[in-house]
Structure formats: structure tokens, C-alpha cells
Structure 1
Amino acid sequence: MKPKARHLILDLLQAADGEALSARDAVTACALFGISANNARVALARLSADGLIEAAERGSYALSARAHELADDVATWRTAEQRVRPWSGSWIAVHCGALGRSDRKAMRNRDRALGMLGFREFERGLYLRPDNIERDLDAVRKRLYRLGLEREASVFLVSGLEPARDARVRRLWDGRALNRQYQRLQKQLETWLRQCDRLDPQTAAREVFLVGGQAIRQIVYDPWLPDPLVDAQARRACVDTVRRFDRVGHQLWRRLYETTTGAPGPWAGAARMADTLNA
């Protein structure tokens, strides 16, 4: 599976942890996936025109301030477990009933913000999730707005639902399916890690990027539900494995770049922000 040049470049810029990416490095990375140098340069030009990247110095690019906001949030997947709190049974609600539906870009941003924080639609225009993330409601509200939810949306707490309605809310998420995903993903990554030493450097770099990108996207969009809605211990074990896979990815990419160019690698590893940006 060959990624699009613009997606690959955005992901590499996120993985660079604030460092610039030279056009030469972009071409080198794209070539690894069978993407021509011309396509790589066209992707750089279009990303710049779209305001997602900007010139850092002659021949080098960095994420724009607009793209950085989302990239910084995506990067917090490594520490997301630290933002999970014990659950008292209350729910965080977002009411979008008064928001327009004609602006497709606004709707994409809204859906992305709600999806990244694990909200599900309970009734038309009313989205809910357990009140077990971030330090308080205001932190959740600010994060939603930062990710693209319109500030006209109401964000508030709901508690004291009657048993039947509370049970309906809990069924918005398929906890058993999530548990199976955690176990399946952890097994897939551990299997790859056991055999990656037998792969040639270029194949290993390609696979760790693609497999790791899919794994990170799953964590970024995980709803981070509390027990007993999911098996939090299985999720923790899965995330630990994804972190280890990510570290290996950084090492493989850095080693490949240094072997290919003889210079220290300015970027490395598997990261996924392109799908999140709807680029």
C-alpha cells in the first residue's frame, strides 16, 4: 500500500518533533515508497499553498501554526492514559442542534473533534461520553474548541439519568469490540517486532511506517472509556506495545537515513496526522 506524498510528508513533519524537513529529505522518504521526486515536490508546493506547511529556511519546511495545533494534540497519544480519571457515572454532553449543516469543512472539523474525544451521538445533535478524561470539564471544552468544534456548541455535564436512558447511553460504544481490537493490535505489533530483524532496512522502514501509522491512529481515536465499559488493563497493555513499536520505528528510520546519506536523520518513526487532518 503506497501512501500519498502529502500524507507521508505531513506524517514525517509531525515525527520530526519541531525540526524542519528539507525538500531533499522529503524526496528521499517518498522514494522509499515508490513516489517520484516530481510528485514529492508537487506535494510540498500544494501543502504550502494550503497553509499546512511553511518555509523554515531555504529548501526546508515545517508545519504551519494551524497544522501544529492539531499535530500537537495527536502527539499526546503517548501520554493519553495520564489524562484518564476515575469515573463517577456522569456524562460530558455536547449539544450541536443549533449549529449549521451546510458548511462541509465546519462539519468535518466538528466530527473530527467529537470523534477524537470519543463522543457518540445519543439523540439528534446531542453527543455524550463518560466524564473520565482531562482534569475537568473546562479542559475538555477547550480541547474540543481547539480541535475544531464551533464555540457556539454547548458543552456541559449530565448526571442522574434514569436507568433505562443510562443503559442506552452505555450501549453507544461496543466495549467487547474495543477489547478485541486491543488484543488483536497488540498481537499484530508484537508479531512484527519479533520478526523485523529479518527484514532488509528499506522493507522494515516501509512496514513500520504503515503498520505503526494505523496503530497510532487507532489510539488517537480511542474513546478512552472507563471500566466497566471496556477492559482498561487490556487497553493499557496495547498502548504500551504501540509505544514500544513507535520507538523501534524511530530507530529504524534514523538508521536507514544515516546509512543512505551518511548524515544524522532529521526525522524518524511512524506517526499519523494526515488522516486526522483530512488532508
Structure 2
Amino acid sequence: MELTAKKIILGLLLVSDGQPLTVRSLIDACALFGIKENNVRVTLTRLSADGLIEAAGRGSYTLGLPVQSLADQVASWQTMEQQLAPWHGGYVAVYTGSLRRSHRKTWQRRERALTMCGLRELDRDLYVRPDNFQGGADFIRSRLQALGMEDEAAVFAASDFDSQRMDAITRLWDARSLNAHYRKDRQRLEKWLARHQALEAEVAAREVYIMGAQAVRSLVFDPWLPAPMIDAEARHTYLETVKRFDETGKALWQRLYQIRIGMPFMSEEQPTTGVLQ
């Protein structure tokens, strides 16, 4: 994973629960990854100019308004399982054929929103996913819009696909790879948790950030498929492991920063492993 000042700054602010982080804390965090102070300060200036972050008092920053909604959706990985509902074989569909294609950033936000909601393209401009969230199409519509997708997109419940499209739908998600990932990555995280106390503080902080970011990102972009399409028990076990890993990361970063600076890095409620954008 290539780490830059921009990725680390946005990654930490993205999971800071809306609370500001000081410039000193961000400089110190980036230093763990070999990024120099001047690089961090230049990056902060650029991010502020772009509106991605904003000043929150003297010498501290928080996320800018354009990405606050995204931050809320990213943070929902911990509670997404609670939003699931029994699946009765139906689907939620999204049609994007009437939306603009010329604006690159708008298209990128749209594609990210569709992917984060587990939607896959069945036919040109027609995306589907299993209807297994509480609230059905309304839930997906609200989440897509919160993730930056245009309100004009048609979002609706769908069923009774022809046999050819039903066969195609079953191939839209690689359930075998997902199941393998849940098991393999859980083992990787558990192995690290069993040995991390023997690591030097700075080494442990770096590793927990990188590994945690990768794990959280996989859950943020998980399609949250229903059983029997997916091994729901393996996913649940993986989710619980990632939560424990995140809590361990929070404690490690708090301890390291208090030793260095004599003050907390984040409040008790804030996770320190996040999604590197």
C-alpha cells in the first residue's frame, strides 16, 4: 500500500468522528511512515484550498463539508450487519442511463457509491443487488445519495427477471473469493493480535494502521450479500475480528502518542484504523 501525506491525513480525519485533529498530531502520525513535516504542511494547505478539510480552531483541522457525508457512510461498516434483513429472492435495481457522463468527478462519485452499496451492472446502465436491507429500495436510495450519487437516479425494487438474466445475476459477485477473504484475513489479523505485544511501539502503530485500513476498506466495500449467496457466519466472525483489531489500534496509537507528546491522539471513542482513500 502506497502511503502519502494526503492518504494518511484524510484517512485519520475520515474516522475521527467529526472531531478535529491538531497539525502536530497529523505531523507525528505521518512521521511514523517516513513523511516529513514540510510535506504534511504543504498537503494540509492544498487540502484546505480544495475544501476537503477546514480549520477547526488554531492549529487543528476537521473534514470539509463535501466529505462529511462520505465519512458517515464509511463509519457505518461497524453497524451495517444490523441493517440486514431476511432475503426473499428480490433485488434492488438502479438505472443510471439518464445521468450525465461528461463530468469525470461526478462519474467517479457515482461509481464509488454504486460499488459501496454492493450494486453490480447487469445490463448497460442497469445495476442490481439483492434486496436484503431493512428499508429495501428506500435504504439503498438514501445511501447512494449520501455517498454523492445524483438524486435523479431511478432506484426501485425488481423481480421476475428472465432466466438468462437470472443466470447472469448469480455471476455478478464472486462469493467464493469473498468467503475465502473472510477466513484468510481473519486468520491474518488474529495472528497479528497474538504477537503485537512483542513489537516495538512505533512498529506496532505502523502495522496496525496499514493492516487495519486494509481490513476496514474491505468491509466498507463489502456487498453484504445474503445467505445462501454468502457464508454469513464467516463474514460475521471476520467483522468481529476487525472490530477488535480496530480497538487494539486505537489503544496502541493513544499509548504511543501520550508517550511522545504527553496528550491523547484522539478521544476514547475514535478508531485509529481507517480507509485510505
Same fold (TM over 0.5): yes
Q: What residue number does 1:46 align with?
A: 46
Q: Is 2:5–2:30's contact at 8 Å kept on the other side of the alignment?
A: yes
Matches within 5 A, 1:1-279: 3-266=3-266, 269-272=272-275, 274-275=276-277
Q: Is 1:20–1:62's contact at 8 Å kept on the other side of the alignment?
A: yes
C-alpha distance in 2 between matches for 1:106 and 1:176: 32
C-alpha distance in 2 between matches for 1:70 and 1:100: 21
The Cα offsets for residues 21-49 of structure 1, whole Å up to 9 and x where unpaired, read as 11111111111110000001011111101
The Cα offsets for residues 90-123 of structure 1, whole Å up to 9 and x where unpaired, read as 1100011122222111110000000000000001
**What 5-or-longer segments of structure 1 have no aligned partner?**
none
C-alpha distance in 2 between matches for 1:171 and 1:108: 24
C-alpha distance in 2 between matches for 1:109 and 1:192: 34
AA aligned to 1:185 is: D
C-alpha distance in 1 between matches for 2:221 and 2:16: 22
Shift of 1:174: 1.2
Q: Is 1:134–1:140's contact at 8 Å kept on the other side of the alignment?
A: no
Q: Is 2:120–2:172's contact at 8 Å kept on the other side of the alignment?
A: yes
Q: Bigger CA drift: 229-238 or 152-161?
A: 152-161
Q: Is 1:253–1:269's contact at 8 Å kept on the other side of the alignment?
A: yes
The Cα offsets for residues 224-251 of structure 1, whole Å up to 9 and x where unpaired, read as 0001111011100111100010000000
Instruction: Give the TM-score normalised by structure 2.
Output: 0.95
Q: Is 1:96–1:125's contact at 8 Å kept on the other side of the alignment?
A: yes
Q: Bigger CA drift: 159-168 or 140-149?
A: 159-168
C-alpha distance in 2 between matches for 1:37 and 1:134: 46
Q: Is 1:205–1:249's contact at 8 Å kept on the other side of the alignment?
A: yes
Q: Is 1:130–1:226's contact at 8 Å kept on the other side of the alignment?
A: yes
AA aligned to 1:269 is: T
Q: RMSD of the TM alignment (CA)?
A: 1.3
Q: Is 1:190–1:241's contact at 8 Å kept on the other side of the alignment?
A: yes
Q: Bigger CA drift: 35-44 or 14-23?
A: 14-23
AA aligned to 1:121 is: E
The Cα offsets for residues 44-88 of structure 1, whole Å up to 9 and x where unpaired, read as 111101111111001111111221110011001011100111101
C-alpha distance in 2 between matches for 1:83 and 1:90: 17
Q: Is 1:2–1:34's contact at 8 Å kept on the other side of the alignment?
A: no
AA aligned to 1:217 is: R
AA aligned to 1:12 is: L
> 2:157 is paired with a residue of what secondary structure?
strand
Q: Is 1:2–1:33's contact at 8 Å kept on the other side of the alignment?
A: no
C-alpha distance in 1 between matches for 2:197 and 2:15: 22
Shift of 1:264: 2.2
C-alpha distance in 2 between matches for 1:228 and 1:252: 38
Shift of 1:178: 0.7
